Structure 1
C-alpha cells in the first residue's frame, strides 16, 4: 500500500492511472474508499490520487487536533511534494472542498483546475450561536457515540430519498471508520472557517457541483460560492444528496471529465460547457 511520511504523519493514498494528476479530497465522514467509482473511471484519463486526510482511513492521527483547513492544505502540499508533483487538478468534496479552497489560495500556481463538490462556506459564516451549537454537536457525537452509531445517525441525512440500498450500506460502512482525532479536527476547522473572502481570489477554472437535494450544504450555498468565483460554472446532480458522487457516479464523473477536457482545450476554460 502506498504511504508517504509528512513530518510526524504517515499519509496513506490510492494512486491509479496515467495522465495529468487529479487529486481527490474526501469529506468529513469519508476516506479514500469513498472515491471508488471515481477512480474506476477517471483513471482511464488521469493519474488519480485519493488521500486519506490526517486522522482518516489508513493515515495516522495528528499529534494534536488541527483547527483550520489551512493546516490540512499545508499538509496536502507537503504530501504532493513528496510525490514530486508540480501541478494538479484538484477535486474536493465537502470538507475536502474547503481544504481545496485554502490550498488554491495558498498555492495558486500549483492548481490547474478546481472542482468543488457539495462545498461549505464554513460554520463561521453563520451566526455565533449556531456556529457554537454545531461545534458542540459534532464534538459530543464523536465523544459519546461509537463510529457505527454515528454513521447510523448521520448517513440518512447525507443521502437523497432516491439512494439505493447499496449506496446507503457503503456510505454507512465507510463512515463507521471515522476516528475521533480526524473528526474533531474537521469540527474545529469548520468552526473557524469563513472562506467568503477567499472565493474572489480564485482565478483558476472552477467547477462547482452540488446534489440537487443536498440538505447538508444545499444548492443555495453553492450558488453563493459560484457568484463569488468569477471563472466558475455550477452544475447540480438531480435526485442526489450531499454524497452526490456516490449516488450518481456516472453523471458526476462525466461532469468532471467534460470540465477538465474543456480546461485542457486551448489551455483555458470555455464558458459554453454543456451540462
Structure 2
C-alpha cells in the first residue's frame, strides 16, 4: 500500500500524499505515469505535500484537443491544476519529457515556482510544428501501434535502466508504467517531443533551477543535461548532479540519491 490518494480535477488525474510542508509537484516522462514515482515517495520529507500528475492523455487524464501540442499546451493544463489546488510557490520536478513541460511552466509562471528541478531532461528535437516528425518520435508512435502497449514496454523498458540485468526490480517498475501508455496521449507527447526546444525555455528561467541526470543514462545522456544546465541564466543556475550507476529511470533506480538532490538548498537567484 502506498500513501497516494487519487483525485481528478479539470480533466486531469493526479496522485497526492498530503503534507503540511513544502509542495512538490512531479511530472513524469513520455513512457511513464504518476504511479511510477512511488519508489521516490518514501525518500521525500514526510512533511512534504507531494502531487504527481498523469499528463494529458495518460492514466485517467483527458488528452489534449490539439494532436500536435507544444510544451506550453501542457504547461497551460498544469497551470489549471495548480490554480484548482490553490498552490502557491511549489517545487516543480520534471523528468525527461516532463522537464520540457516543467521548464515551459516555470518560464511563464515565475511566481508559482519556488524551485525547478530538471531531471534526465529531454531537450526536444527542435522540429517545425506540423512538419514531418523526427525519425525518433515517429518510431515511438509506430512501435506502440505495431506492438501494443505490453510488447512495447517489453521492448523498451530495459533501456531506461543502467545495468538492467542487475536491477530487475527497477526494470519491472519501468515496464509496468510503460505498459499503460495509450493513444492518442502517447502520440501527442511524441509530437511535442519532436517540436520541443528545452534550451529556449531554459534561457528564460528566473527561478532557482537544478539539473540531475544518471551517469549511465543512454536516453538523455549527461551531455544533454550539461547543455540544459549551461543554458540557464547564471542568476538562476543551481547545481548539476550526476548520479553514478543510474540510468534514465533515475527516480526508480536511485530514489534515495534523487531525493537527496531535491533536498539540497536551492541557490538564491542573484
Q: TM-score of the superposition, structure 2-length normalised? A: 0.89
Deviates more, 1:190-199 or 1:207-216: 190-199
**Structure 1 runs of 4+ off > 4 angstroms?**
none
**Alpha-carbon deviation of 1:169?**
1.2
Question: Does structure 2 conserve the Cα–Cα contact (< 8 Å) formed by 1:53 and 1:59?
Answer: yes
Q: Corresponding residue for 1:45? A: 47
Structure 2 CA distance, aligned partners of 1:84 and 1:159?
36
Deviation digits for residues 112-163 of structure 1, max 9, x if unmatched? Answer: 001010001101179xx99621122122112212111110111111111155
Structure 2 CA distance, aligned partners of 1:157 and 1:110?
35
Q: 1:217 aligns with which of 210, 216, 220?
A: 220
Q: TM-score of the superposition, structure 1-length normalised? A: 0.88
Q: 1:132 aligns with which of 131, 134, 147?
A: 134
**Alpha-carbon deviation of 1:59?**
2.2
Q: 2:73 aligns with which of 53, 71, 74?
A: 71
Structure 2 unaligned segments of length 5 or more: list them. none
Question: Does structure 2 conserve the Cα–Cα contact (< 8 Å) formed by 1:151 and 1:175?
Answer: yes
Structure 1 CA distance, aligned partners of 2:100 and 2:65?
22
Query: Would you say how many aligned residue pairs link Structure 1 and Structure 2?
Result: 260
What SS is found at the alignment partner of 2:184? helix
Question: Does structure 2 conserve the Cα–Cα contact (< 8 Å) formed by 1:19 and 1:45?
Answer: yes
Does residue 1:3 correspond to 2:7, yes or no?
yes
What do you get for the CA RMSD once the two structures are aligned?
2.2
Deviation digits for residues 46-90 of structure 1, max 9, x if unmatched? Answer: 111111111112323345535111111100000111101121110
Does residue 1:175 correspond to 2:178, yes or no?
yes
Structure 1 unaligned segments of length 5 or more: list them. none
Structure 1 CA distance, aligned partners of 2:134 and 2:262?
35
